Amino acid sequence: MKIYFRFTSILILVTFCYLASCAQKVNIKKSGQLTTTAKLDSIFTVRKIDSINNYYLIYAKRNNKWFKIVSKKEKNIRNNKIKINTDYRFSLHSIWNEKVMIGGINVSPSQTPYVTCLGFEEKTMICIERDSINDLFSSKNLNGLNYIKNKEKE
């Protein structure tokens, strides 16, 4: 009887915690803290360039909002490297909003509030920064740090 009571108590506690976490997920989405954009073509100011393993992390700003752009390191044939404090027209695509389905369930990072990092290749983890950056982007007009001008827009 004692074991049954303990098991029931644990089951109720786990169920309560699960329901509480679901309510928190809804509140986070309603409050707009995790707003993301699937595609964005606009002018950005490059503020910082960092790297981790085989990837560059370009921190760009537009209208007081930060964007983290991930670009795989490539040997640049052209000498058209992006520079800090310079404006560029980037055509961004959200990596965070990529749809990932497992067993018919959407487990995309944007649908899972507790996921804060994505794995690239075998050893590279790139994370969002919830206080300022809620999405990871790639850009069609970046090859490593080499900027490829979009002739239609510029």
Q: What is the pLDDT of residue 53?
A: 95
List per-block mean pLDDT (blocks of 10 residues) for the chain, which spans 154 residues.
Answer: 54 49 33 50 94 96 94 81 95 86 80 83 87 90 89 53
**Which of the 8 DSSP states describes residue 110?**
G
pTM of the model: 0.69
Q: Which fold has domain 39-147?
A: OB fold (Dihydrolipoamide Acetyltransferase, E2P) (2.40.50)
CA proximity to 93, closest of 152, 146, 135: 135
